[in-house]
């Protein structure tokens, strides 16, 4: 969500064109590929995107046209908390 807010205020220019193109695809009703995410096995463990960060930003830029659901592949593991970027 922070990336989308930063794009809207002009703070992020490096990838802006790509994110806006994705947002336009969402607004046009296009179904995008599934996201890939991981989480731990606890009830309140966070969900972390492994692949699809640009699509997530595009979705948030097109929040006025979000589909009713977004499909993801979700992996769960008790050892995910030991990952360096989790």
The predicted structure's pLDDT at residue 13: 66
The predicted structure's pLDDT at residue 40: 93
The predicted structure's pLDDT at residue 3: 67
The whole-model pTM stands at 0.76
| Domain edges within the chain | 2-82
The predicted structure's pLDDT at residue 52: 94
Q: What is the mean pLDDT of each run of 10 residues along the chain (86 residues)?
A: 66 75 96 95 91 92 92 94 79
DSSP 83: S
């Amino acid at each position: 969500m922070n990336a989308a807010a930063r794009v809207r205020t002009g703070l992020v220019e490096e990838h802006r064109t790509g994110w806006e193109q994705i947002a336009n695809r969402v607004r046009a009703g296009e179904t995008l590929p599934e996201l890939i995410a991981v989480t731990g096995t606890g009830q309140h463990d966070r969900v972390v995107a492994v692949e699809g960060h640009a699509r997530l930003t595009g979705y948030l830029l097109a929040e006025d046209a979000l589909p009713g659901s977004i499909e993801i592949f979700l992996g769960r593991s008790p050892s995910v908390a030991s990952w360096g970027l989790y």
